[in-house]
Amino acid sequence: TEPAHRAALVAAATAGGHRIDVLVNNAGGLGPSPRPALADFPLDALADLFEVNVVAPLGLVQQALPSLVAAGGTIVNVTSDAGVEPYEGWGGYGATKAALDHLGRILAAEHPELRVLTIDPGDMRTKMHQDAFPGEDISDRPRPDESVPGLLRLLESDVPSGRYRVAYVDAM
């Protein structure tokens, strides 16, 4: 979330005249666990969550934008269905993902020379997902690496800017 860190990442990626063809914003936080109702969500925790899930990705895009534009590149924002569905207890996290989704739509409108893909990988077998469902067996969820082929198919395709669910890529 630190501006200097974002600047260093972009400087390292563009060193020697290299361009950034693809920027993937995948870092994220869930917020307090167990997940509080939105009316009880600690505002300092919500501000922290927006910093990680919304402000930091936008800051990285801003730093990388000249290189992305020069490359005719692609921005990938990793999102969640919690950003579009009203799941009880997911208000803080969902609000940040809804904001990230909207940032993607605005960036696509403001920069038609770029492709902005908002990707929902679906439920996955991660520590973050387990933290969201303590005590629940999530071993039936796919591992994160199992979503990579769908993401790569999207990147290699000519799909326009938009929101996509990785689980449905093969049906496109």
- State the residue range of the domain holding 14: 3-171
| Catalytic (active-site) positions | 93
Min mean pLDDT across 55-59, 121-125, 154-158 is at 121-125
Taking residues 100-112, report their average pLDDT.
98
Taking residues 12-28, report their average pLDDT.
96
Q: What is the CATH number of the domain that holds 39?
A: 3.40.50.720
pTM of the model: 0.90
Rounded to the nearest integer, the mean pLDDT of the chain is 92
| Domain count of the fold of the chain | 1
DSSP collapsed to 3 states, the chain: CCHHHHHHHHHHHHHHHCCCCEEEECCCCCCCCCCCCHHHCCHHHHHHHHHHHHHHHHHHHHHHHHHHHHHCCEEEEECCHHHCCCCCCCHHHHHHHHHHHHHHHHHHHHCCCCEEEEEECCCCCCHHHHHHCCCCCCCCCCCHHHHHHHHHHHHHCCCCCEEEEHHHHHHC
pLDDT of residue 171: 54
